[in-house]
Amino acid sequence: MSFKRKYMLKAGKPGSPGFETDRLRIAFSVSRSEDKTGNNATLDVWNLSPAHEEMITSKDCYIEIQAGYEDTQLLTVFTGYVTYGDGELDGADWKVSLEMVDGRVPVRDTRVSKRYTGVTKNRIVIEDIARAMQLTVDFAKDCQYKDFPNGYSCVGQAAVVLDKACAASGLHWYIDNNVLYIKNIAGFNGRKIYVLSAESGLIGYPKKITKSGKSEGDKDVVGYEVRYLLNADIQIGDYVQLRTKRVQGNYRVQSLKIDGDTHSGDWACTATLMIT
């Protein structure tokens, strides 16, 4: 470990004993967004015991990676389920490599069968689906909900019935670190505003990007790609105030990549920021 950085890696099957470590070498790369496909990550761990290697590479092993600095609280940068694992020699060391997806098990395995009578509030339907998936749900403040005047029925895979319930009210859902977020399709889920400058960890200069409109007649969307020292407080949907000589303004975090290696390089985040 170097540069006064610290981490905690937790692994195990839900409901069963697992293990945690903050002493081995690890390297992680996390990609997060508002896509329903789920966040994904890769993780390398060196010199695990045989028992811990067997556990961490098993199907649907649950992983939590926390990271931070010695003078700050550890924050979660990724939670998810192992989809692939292998091991190989790396010089004189043994390296285990994993691929993981956030929300994989609740999305894949949860089925819902629930019927409501009378006037039914859509928010309650969504909350019940989240409960069946065993996920905490976070609603954006500007969400509006369509009530069902003649009752409602939702039967099938949780992700499918969640799609239908959200579509009825013009809402979008995604899972980020085992939390189900609900927002307006054209809205935002931002909670805080963070300042990014050279003084607060910004690395280099913002790179301007332009994204074409989704359909003919839509305006292009302008934003910036920025790189900054690890700050796990900044989440998808949050707002960032850029303060540089060339760029100043408020932008929304659309996607986020977090990379770190306990034994080399910077722990850094690369974010796509778009004009709100």
Spatial separation of the C-alpha atoms in residues 245 and 123, rounded to whole Å:
44
Spatial separation of the C-alpha atoms in residues 22 and 115, rounded to whole Å:
47
- Token pair recorded at residue 262: 């306990």
Please check the confidence at residue 237 and state whether its pLDDT lies above 90: no
What's residue 212's pLDDT?
76
Please check the confidence at residue 1 and state whether its pLDDT lies above 70: no
What's residue 70's pLDDT?
87
Is residue 132 a contact partner of residue 107, using CB atoms and an 8 Å limit? no
Please check the confidence at residue 276 and state whether its pLDDT lies above 90: no
DSSP 8-state secondary structure symbol assigned to residue 58: S
Radius of gyration of the chain (CA): 21
What's residue 120's pLDDT?
96
Mean pLDDT of 185-213: 85
What's residue 79's pLDDT?
97
Work out whether strand 179-184 and strand 93-101 pair parallel, antiparallel, or are unpaired.
unpaired
Q: Is 45 exposed, middle or buried (0-12, 13-18, 19+ CB in 10 A)?
A: buried
Q: Tens digit of pLDDT for each residue in 239-259?
A: 999 999 999 999 999 999 999
What's residue 229's pLDDT?
95
What's residue 122's pLDDT?
96
Which residues make Cβ contacts (< 8 Å) with residue 215, sequence separation at least 6? none
Q: Tens digit of pLDDT for each residue in 93-136?
A: 999 999 999 999 999 999 999 999 999 999 999 999 999 999 99
What's residue 220's pLDDT?
79
Report CA-CA distances (Å) from 33 to 151, 173, 174, 194, 259: 34, 11, 8, 18, 15
What's residue 55's pLDDT?
97
- Token pair recorded at residue 235: 């989440």
Structural domains of the chain, with CATH: 5-102 (2.30.300.10), 106-184 (3.55.50.30), 193-275 (2.40.30.150)
Confidence band for 188, pLDDT divided at 50, 70 and 90: low
Q: Tens digit of pLDDT for each residue in 154-179?
A: 999 999 999 999 999 999 999 999 99
What's residue 215's pLDDT?
64
Confidence band for 3, pLDDT divided at 50, 70 and 90: low
Other C-beta atoms closer than 10 Å to the C-beta of 7 total 20
- What's the gap between Cα 94 and its chain centre? 29
What's residue 187's pLDDT?
66
What's residue 72's pLDDT?
85
Spatial separation of the C-alpha atoms in residues 143 and 167, rounded to whole Å:
12
Mean pLDDT of 261-276: 92
This prediction has a pTM of 0.91
User: Coil, strand or helix: which one is 158?
Assistant: helix
Please check the confidence at residue 186 and state whether its pLDDT lies above 80: no
Q: Tens digit of pLDDT for each residue in 31-87?
A: 999 999 889 999 999 999 999 999 999 999 999 999 999 888 999 999 999 999 999
